[in-house]
C-alpha cells in the first residue's frame, strides 16, 4: 500500500473571538483553507460556571455554507430561526445547512452553568458549492449513541462515523457534498489504517495526545496540530503513543472562488452584499434574543 504523503503540518494558535480565546488550525498564514473546509475552531476546554460563561453566542446569521459543531465536553443549547431547539450533549454533533440563510444561537444550557463544568468543542465550516448556496436551510442533531462506530481488533481504537462511509458503515448525517467526517479515539499503542479516496482533500486535527503517522518514527502529530495530506496515496496509518483524540476530515474539493465576510461564505462580493441586505431585511428569519 502507498501512504498519502504530507503536504502541510499546521499549528493551531490562539485567536480572539470577542471575549472567547480559541484555537484556529485553519485559516492560518500557512494554510488558508483545505477545500472544501473553510474554517476550524477548537474551543475550550473552558471551565464554565455562574461567574464565568464567555461562550454564550446570541442570535447571529449564516449563509452559503454548513456550520458544524462536534461537542467534546459539556452541554449546549441550540436555537434557530427554523424553530429548532435542542440540547447538544458531549459526543453529539449538530450539522446546520445554512443555505440561503439561517439565524441561530448557541451556548451552555442554564442548568450546565448553574452546576458548573467543562465545555469543549469543534466548530467546522464546510463550504457549499455555488449551485447549493441558496438552498433551503436545514438542521440535523445526532446524539452520540446513534452514530455507527468501528472498533479495532485490539479494542484500542474507536471510530465514530459522523458523515460519509468507512468499512461499509455509513454516517448518520445526510450531506450536501461528498465528505467523510470521523471522530477517532485511540488508547495508547492503538493503531489503525485509514483508506482514503484520493479525489478528496484530506486533513487530520489532533485534539489531544500524540500520534505517529505512516509508520515514520520521525513523523508524529502532537497536541493541537493539523496535518494536510497530498492526494497521492491509498491511505494513512496512525499509531498512538498515548491516549489520543482526532478529527479526520476529507472532502471533494469544490475548486470555486470563495468570498467570505463575517458569517457569510459566498462566491462574489456582490453575493456578500446581498446576504448582508437580506439579513437586515429579515429574509433569513427571526430569532428572539
Per-residue pLDDT of the chain (289 residues; tens, 9 = 90+): 899 999 999 989 999 988 889 999 999 999 999 999 999 999 999 999 988 887 888 899 999 999 999 999 999 999 999 999 999 999 999 999 999 999 999 999 999 999 999 999 999 999 999 999 999 999 999 999 999 999 999 999 999 999 999 999 999 999 999 999 999 999 999 999 999 999 999 999 999 999 999 998 778 888 899 999 999 999 999 999 999 999 999 999 999 999 999 999 999 999 999 999 999 999 999 998 8
Cβ atoms of 107 and 55 within 8 Å: the answer is: yes
Which residues sit opposite 189 in a β-bridge?
Answer: none
Cβ atoms of 4 and 231 within 8 Å: the answer is: yes
Q: What is the pLDDT of residue 18?
A: 80
Q: Rounding to the nearest 10 degrees, give the CA dihedral for residues 144, 146, 148, 154.
A: 50
Domain that holds residue 83: 6-251
Phi, psi of 58 (to 5 degrees): -70, 180
Q: Establish if 273 belongs to a structural domain.
A: no
Q: Establish if 55 belongs to a structural domain.
A: yes
pLDDT digits (tens, 9 = 90+) for 58-89: 899 999 999 999 999 999 999 999 999 999 99
Q: Establish if 51 belongs to a structural domain.
A: yes
Q: What is the pLDDT of residue 231?
A: 96
Question: pTM for the whole thing?
Answer: 0.96
Q: Establish if 277 belongs to a structural domain.
A: no
Please give the Cα distance from 101 to 283 (Å, whole number): 8
Q: Establish if 120 belongs to a structural domain.
A: yes
Residue 185, helix vs strand vs coil? strand
Tell me: cis bond preceding 280? Omega within 30 of 0 counts. Answer: no
Residue ranges in the chain assigned as alpha helix (H) = 110-115, 269-280
Burial class (CB in 10 A: 0-12, 13-18, 19+), 97: buried
Q: What is the pLDDT of residue 29?
A: 92
Residue 70 maps to which CATH number?
2.60.120.10
Q: Establish if 280 belongs to a structural domain.
A: no
Q: Establish if 179 belongs to a structural domain.
A: yes
Q: What is the pLDDT of residue 166?
A: 97
Q: Establish if 283 belongs to a structural domain.
A: no
Match 445554512 to its residue by C-alpha cell: 98
Give the count of domains, the chain. Answer: 1
> Cβ–Cβ contacts within 10 Å for residue 65, how many?
28
Q: What is the pLDDT of residue 167?
A: 95
Amino acid at each position: 500500500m502507498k501512504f498519502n504523503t504530507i503536504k502541510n503540518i499546521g499549528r493551531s494558535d490562539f485567536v480572539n473571538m470577542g471575549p472567547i480565546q480559541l484555537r484556529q488550525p485553519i485559516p492560518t498564514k500557512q494554510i488558508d483553507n483545505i477545500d472544501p473546509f473553510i474554517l476550524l475552531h477548537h474551543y475550550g476546554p473552558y471551565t464554565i460556571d455562574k461567574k464565568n460563561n464567555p461562550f454564550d453566542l446570541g442570535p447571529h446569521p449564516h449563509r452559503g455554507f454548513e456550520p458544524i459543531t462536534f461537542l467534546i465536553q459539556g452541554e449546549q443549547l441550540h436555537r434557530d430561526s427554523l424553530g429548532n431547539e435542542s440540547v447538544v450533549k458531549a459526543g453529539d454533533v449538530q450539522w446546520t445547512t445554512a443555505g440561503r440563510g439561517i439565524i441561530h444561537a448557541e451556548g451552555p444550557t442554564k442548568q450546565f452553568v448553574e452546576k458548573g463544568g467543562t465545555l469543549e468543542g469543534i466548530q467546522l465550516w464546510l463550504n457549499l458549492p455555488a449551485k447549493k448556496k441558496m438552498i433551503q436551510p436545514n438542521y440535523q442533531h445526532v446524539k452520540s449513541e446513534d452514530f455507527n462506530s468501528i472498533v479495532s481488533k485490539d479494542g484500542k481504537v474507536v471510530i465514530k462515523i459522523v458523515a460519509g462511509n468507512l468499512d461499509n458503515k455509513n454516517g448518520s448525517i445526510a450531506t450536501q457534498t461528498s465528505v467523510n467526517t470521523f471522530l477517532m479515539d485511540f488508547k495508547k499503542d492503538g493503531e489503525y489504517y485509514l483508506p482514503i479516496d484520493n479525489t478528496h482533500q484530506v486533513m487530520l486535527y489532533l485534539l489531544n495526545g500524540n500520534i505517529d503517522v505512516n509508520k515514520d518514527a520521525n513523523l508524529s502529530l502532537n497536541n493541537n496540530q493539523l496535518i494536510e495530506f497530498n492526494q497521492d496515496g491509498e491511505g494513512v496509518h496512525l499509531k498512538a503513543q498515548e491516549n489520543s483524540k482526532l478529527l479526520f476530515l476529507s472532502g471533494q474539493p469544490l475548486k470555486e472562488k470563495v468570498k467570505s465576510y463575517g458569517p457569510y461564505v459566498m462566491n462574489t462580493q456582490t453575493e456578500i452584499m446581498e446576504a448582508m441586505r437580506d439579513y437586515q431585511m429579515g429574509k433569513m428569519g427571526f430569532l428572539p434574543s
